[in-house]
Structure 1
Amino acid sequence: MASCSQDFPFEIMDVVELLHLRIRRRQANSVYADCPFCGDRRGKMNVNFVKNVWRCNYCGEHGGMLSLYARLNHTTNSDAYREICDALQTGDFFWDNGAERKEQTNSGIPLKAGSAEVGLLQADKQKPKGLQQSPRASAQEIHQTLSMLFDMLSLRPAHREHLCSAKRGLTDEQIEECGFKSTPPHFLCRSLTEKLMKQGCTVQGVPGFYLDEKGNWTVKFNTRTSGILIPAVGVDGLIHGAQILLDVPMKDKDDPPEKSGAKYIWLSSSNKHMGITSGSPVHFVGNPFARTIYVTEGLLKADIAHYLMNRSFVAIAGANNVAQLEPLFALLAQNGTELIVEAHDMDKYSNEMIAKGSSRIYEAARRNGMDCRRLTWNPNHKGIDDWQLALRRMEQQKKEEKEVEKRYLDLPYRKQKFRIYQLEMNGLQTIPFAFKEVRAMRQAGYEQPPASEYRLVLDTEFPCPENLEEKELLRLLKEQYGSLVPQDYRGRPLAPSDVVELYGQDGRSYFYVNTESFEPVRFSPFLARPLQQNT
């Protein structure tokens, strides 16, 4: 069989149509479709119909058009080639010990015996026509244009308030240092672009810029994509692109109601005439000569964590978007970096796709001679920025606890015995309901918490008012062990998926920890791993 896809009598979009893949959006040289391998329905699989290749930016699966068909149909590439040709009624093939001969027209296009050339012509008409794209401008040109664009923009009060809120925790000085701005209204796009060109900036080949239907250069901002503009700065200090934190998450019309929608998009013009893709550049903040550097997912998250921790951070746009880490890691290793710390969100313990991306960070670090470790934290907080902001609020939590103590100070007390069981997490293992509510556990196929997956981490007693109701007692336990835990406590902070046992003379009762409540459950403690002794 011919090894080059240009020799095939079909193209990758023919395969996409045969497999009935749902196309979510079209760009100049590619389309984005739902991935049939991981089942993600957000259009994360890029199908490049110029190169005849595909890649899912969520699960990382990729390949050529034969492998796309073969993997889904559990067959070989040779059989996939034959079946596709049969389905499209193109080509005449003779199979002999794996070899194959083609009958060709004078033009070199394989045809099925007795078929009309009009079939191939019709297939060609159905193929998406690629928009003409600009060649990418140089890194210096992109930096100059985007820097001057940011200088022309301002930050709206509502956006500044959001960045300074408890959710983000940035100061005005940090906001200015990061260069965050608000996206401009659509009617200013032409005039902004003209000003940039008058000041000697290159706009052709810069992500976000394109030629409109009247032949004028402009930049792609509109009402639907309004939000906070975040510069993507490389380790070289140059701006290589920009992300937008959307004011209103972007949803597809067919998305289920419970789906939140995309919160971040790249400033890109790949679906416009003479536009260019953003390329998902890697973001860096901190000291490029640091011995330890953290890697997380999300530009804004990295900026916030950098200021909270005073550490150097690399940010990628998606858990599996690790291809551009290779050259960066090579440079960091030369700069003296010895340790890479993977700091993806805590759902890396329950989401196999995120866990898969984490393992690729390990591999890339080790290929470049650096060690790599996984960072974990209080699972009540999803991201590293959330966790660090929570630590900042610890002093306030201490004051609140003192108020609780005063409230019960004059009441008669008793000692309530209790135990805490937590999921045993080893290495890169994932458990579908780890740190999630009881609903996720049942969706994973468990009616009750599987005790064999748990370990006893605490067996002690808790002083509490004598007539305290069970619900209030559990709340006090959550306050005590949810963030500020005793020094000799060997477990994680109390979080969803943990199991609490209350026991005493009246018997035993078990509760699954949800985010805001406790669910009574059955539990078999003798199946759980025993309490580890202090060493």
Structure 2
Amino acid sequence: MGAYINFDLIDTAELCGIDIRRSTLSNDEVEARCPYCCDHRYRMYLSRLTNMFYCHNCGTGGNAVTLYSSFNPKGVCLKNYESYNALLNEPSVGRHDVPVQPEKSNAQIREIEERSEIYTELLKLLRLEKEHCTNLLNRGLDSERIARNMYRSFPTDNAERQWICDSLAARYDLHGMPGFYRTDGIWHIAAFKSGILIPIRNKQNLIQGLQIRFDNPPVKRVTTPEGITIEKIGTRFMWLSSSKQKKFEGTSVPSYIHITGNRDSDTVYLTEGGLKSDVASYLSGDKLFIGLTGVQNTGFLKEVISSLSPKRIVEAVDMDVRSNPQVRKAQVKIQAICAPLCETYKRLFWPIDQKGIDDLLLFRKLKKEYEEKIRKGN
């Protein structure tokens, strides 16, 4: 069993020469002048309860490690891990070891309101690269909808990812947040390959989690029954999760279902994938779509359908249902769950040339535009 160190914030502030209002030292929140904005009215609050600070003048927040990184007695700018190691050798700073136990891996995921707020702030710190914007435009979305849906590019640069995480950790407790984990008292974002981050939202439009659509799916090696190892294209979509860092307070994420479009509609279109649902809803005039994050991930399906109370459900899974026995099996399960929860249940079929419902709607849109162009030309 390992441990991380929680350094006393008040001791650290005094070591850094922060101007503290002495009359508040016995309070749960100690008042200080903010060294970041040179505040003169003692609007920085050092919380004994959370061991975090926050300035109500400039909005800067953090903990003992981040404070020491900027205002240590040597007057040098330190990285967080350097600050952490330096504080280990400061006898004047109180500390206590917080055990990191394997059971932490099963820590309860944060409430949806908190999760959505933190993920929203994460997305605000990120940008959408040009190639990813082009990809989304080519799917039929326009720039306004892309911005509204808050798609972002996953940051693959380690330094950039750490800066973003430090910015969030200075304002939020990241315990129970899928995609984040902590080592040596420092929070990190789990590393993934490049791709587009897709918010997976609920009925209230809150972000339940984030999925990544990889630019290049990872290759996986599979051994056939004959003992031959072959390479196959791996998963295109993956949750932003820190389940692989469970020993470091990482958190896994359930297979939530994405909801998009007119949530007051009495007709629900059911398909697979958050991005596919967004595109299909947009191209159909904001019809109500729900997207399973994996055609076999139906754990939340009954709950979601019951909350929407539709009269009609239109199943629109990909057309590989005709050739994929696993998809056909999942299709039977989906209908068994949904049919009792509505008045009418039906399936959509279309030419296999367009695999998904989003492909079909985009084909129809482009065809219509082409025909109108020809008609005007005549």
TM range, normalised to the smaller chain?
Answer: 0.5 to 0.7
Q: Percent identity?
A: 31
Contact 2:312 2:342 in 1 (8 A): no
Among candidates 253, 259, 281, match of residue 284 of structure 1: 259
Check if 1:219 corresponds to 2:189.
yes
SS at match of 1:252: strand
| Matches of 2:344 and 2:334, distance apart in 1 | 10
Count of matched residue positions in the alignment of Structure 1 and Structure 2: 266
Q: TM-score, normalised by structure 1?
A: 0.47
Residue 144 of structure 1 aligns with which residue?
117
Contact 2:169 2:187 in 1 (8 A): no
Check if 1:172 corresponds to 2:143.
yes
Check if 1:360 corresponds to 2:333.
yes
Residue 195 of structure 1 aligns with which residue?
167
| Matches of 1:399 and 1:288, distance apart in 2 | 32
Give unmatched runs, 5+ long, in structure 2: 1-100, 224-228
| Matches of 1:218 and 1:362, distance apart in 2 | 41
Give unmatched runs, 5+ long, in structure 1: 1-128, 403-535
Tell me the CA shift for residue 248 of structure 1.
1.4
Check if 1:231 corresponds to 2:202.
no
Cα deviations by residue, 1:227-272 (Å, 9 ceiling, x for unpaired) = 1110001112110100111121111244776733221111000110
Tell me the CA shift for residue 399 of structure 1.
8.5
Residue 186 of structure 1 aligns with which residue?
158
The residue correspondences of 1:58-97 to structure 2 (distance < 5 A) are: none
| Matches of 1:399 and 1:306, distance apart in 2 | 23
The residue identity in structure 1 corresponding to 2:269 is: Y
Residue 246 of structure 1 aligns with which residue?
214
Residue 304 of structure 2 aligns with which residue?
328
| Matches of 2:232 and 2:369, distance apart in 1 | 34
Among candidates 199, 204, 213, match of residue 175 of structure 2: 204
The residue correspondences of 1:30-49 to structure 2 (distance < 5 A) are: none
Residue 298 of structure 1 aligns with which residue?
273
| Matches of 2:116 and 2:271, distance apart in 1 | 23
Contact 2:116 2:208 in 1 (8 A): yes
| Matches of 2:341 and 2:365, distance apart in 1 | 35
Tell me the CA shift for residue 350 of structure 1.
2.0
Contact 2:313 2:342 in 1 (8 A): no
Cα deviations by residue, 1:197-247 (Å, 9 ceiling, x for unpaired) = 322x231101101113x331111134xx21111000111211010011112
Cα deviations by residue, 1:364-401 (Å, 9 ceiling, x for unpaired) = 22332442110111221110111111111214665899
Residue 361 of structure 2 aligns with which residue?
388
Residue 351 of structure 2 aligns with which residue?
378
Contact 1:297 1:344 in 2 (8 A): yes
Check if 1:267 corresponds to 2:240.
yes
| Matches of 2:187 and 2:345, distance apart in 1 | 45
Q: TM-score, normalised by structure 2?
A: 0.66
| Matches of 1:391 and 1:174, distance apart in 2 | 19
Tell me the CA shift for residue 188 of structure 1.
2.3
CA RMSD of aligned residues (A): 2.4
Q: Quick check: which has more Rg, 1 or 2?
A: 1
The residue identity in structure 1 corresponding to 2:136 is: L
Residue 128 of structure 2 aligns with which residue?
155
Greater relative contact order (CA < 8 Å, ≥ 6 in sequence):
2
Contact 2:271 2:291 in 1 (8 A): yes
Gap change, CA 1:344 and 1:359, over 3 Å in 2? same
SS at match of 2:236: strand
Tell me the CA shift for residue 287 of structure 1.
1.7
Gap change, CA 1:394 and 1:258, over 3 Å in 2? farther
Check if 1:312 corresponds to 2:312.
no
| Matches of 1:249 and 1:226, distance apart in 2 | 10
SS at match of 1:262: coil
Tell me the CA shift for residue 156 of structure 1.
0.7
The residue identity in structure 2 corresponding to 1:236 is: Q
| Matches of 1:364 and 1:253, distance apart in 2 | 34
Contact 1:249 1:260 in 2 (8 A): yes
| Matches of 1:339 and 1:154, distance apart in 2 | 38
Gap change, CA 1:300 and 1:218, over 3 Å in 2? same
Gap change, CA 1:241 and 1:401, over 3 Å in 2? same
SS at match of 2:104: coil
The residue identity in structure 2 corresponding to 1:292 is: T
Contact 1:142 1:202 in 2 (8 A): no
